[in-house]
Structure 1
């Protein structure tokens, strides 16, 4: 390895360490607040239009997966726009690092749904609670580079997921509000945490 190659490798390593050790300021409260509204809207629509979710689990989970995709699009778009304004040349690298924190939990959630649907469809009632627990783990994994107070959101999803497993376990049935209410509250809390962190950062400037 030449001196130039070694210098370039050192720069890449330093840049990577800087990204991983810096709090990501690309999150914005508006998108998280919008996703809370989406969760409430989906739960309300299913309550009105889906008489028996247990009889149509594909429609039930399909609506929530579509909601999650839209929510990710909203958060991702705002994150990208804010990252370019607030993190300079490190924006793309920090977005990549932030997304990387959630990939294991997201992949686990998708695989869990596929396995339950294939092997034990009668156990699909477990998915809402399990998904919330996985979201909690994904947030906890990124606490180091996320706004202060985000651990409270992770704790909410953990408690909510376990509570949903207990409550839905009594009848072992699917409920729109077992998804809608925990995610609406969780995303609303995230919006408040991100807004407070943003205001604190502005005050320090």
Structure 2
């Protein structure tokens, strides 16, 4: 290895350490507030249009999967714009690191849904609660690079997911509000946390 190669490797290692040791400033409150609204809108539409979610579980989950993709698009677009504005040349690396923190939880949630749908469709009522627990794990995994207070959001999703499992377990039912309320409150809490961190940073 030449001196130039060693120098480039050292620079890469330093850059990586900077990214991992810096709180990610790419999250914005507007996108999280919008995702809370999306959750409530989806729950309301399903209440009005989907009379019996248990009879049409794939329609139920298709709507929530579409909502999740829309939410990811909103958060991702704002994250990219803010990271490049606030983090300069480290923006892309910080986005990659933030996504990497949450990716295992996201993949686990998607694969869990596919497995339950394939081998145990009668157990699909478990998914709303399990998804909320998985979201909490993803948030806790990224706590070190996220604003202070985000652990409260992770705790909310954990408690909400376990509560949903208990409440829906009695009748093994699918309820739009078992998805809508926990995610709306969770994203609303995230909005407050991100806004407080932004105001503190500006100050």
Normalised-by-shorter TM-score class: over 0.9
1:116 maps to 116
Deviations 1:148-171 (A, max 9, x none): 100000000000000000000010
> Which whole-Å CA distance do the structure 1 matches of 2:177 and 2:38 have between them?
13
Q: How does 1:54-133 map to 2 (within 5 A)?
A: 54-133=54-133
Could you say what the CA RMSD is over the residues aligned between the two structures, in angstroms? 0.4
Aligned runs of 1:140-155 on 2, under 5 Å?
A: 140-155=140-155
Where does structure 1 lack aligned partners over 5 or more consecutive residues? none
Return the alpha-carbon distance in structure 1 between the equivalents of residues 60 and 10 of structure 2: 50
Q: Does 1:20 align with 2:38?
A: no
Q: SS state of the match for residue 54, structure 1? A: coil
Measured after TM superposition, the shift of residue 2 of structure 1 is 0.7
- Number of residue-to-residue matches in the alignment: 203
Runs of 4+ in 1 over 4 A off after TM superposition: none
The 2-side partners of 1:197 and 1:152 are apart by 14
How far, CA to CA, are the matches of 2:107 and 2:147 in structure 1? 24
- Rounded Cα–Cα distance in structure 2 between residues aligned with 1:21 and 1:93: 12
1:180 aligns with 2:173: no
Deviation at 1:72, TM superposition (A): 0.2
SS of 2:54's equivalent? helix
Q: How far apart, in 1, do the equivalents of 2:26 and 2:113 lie?
A: 30
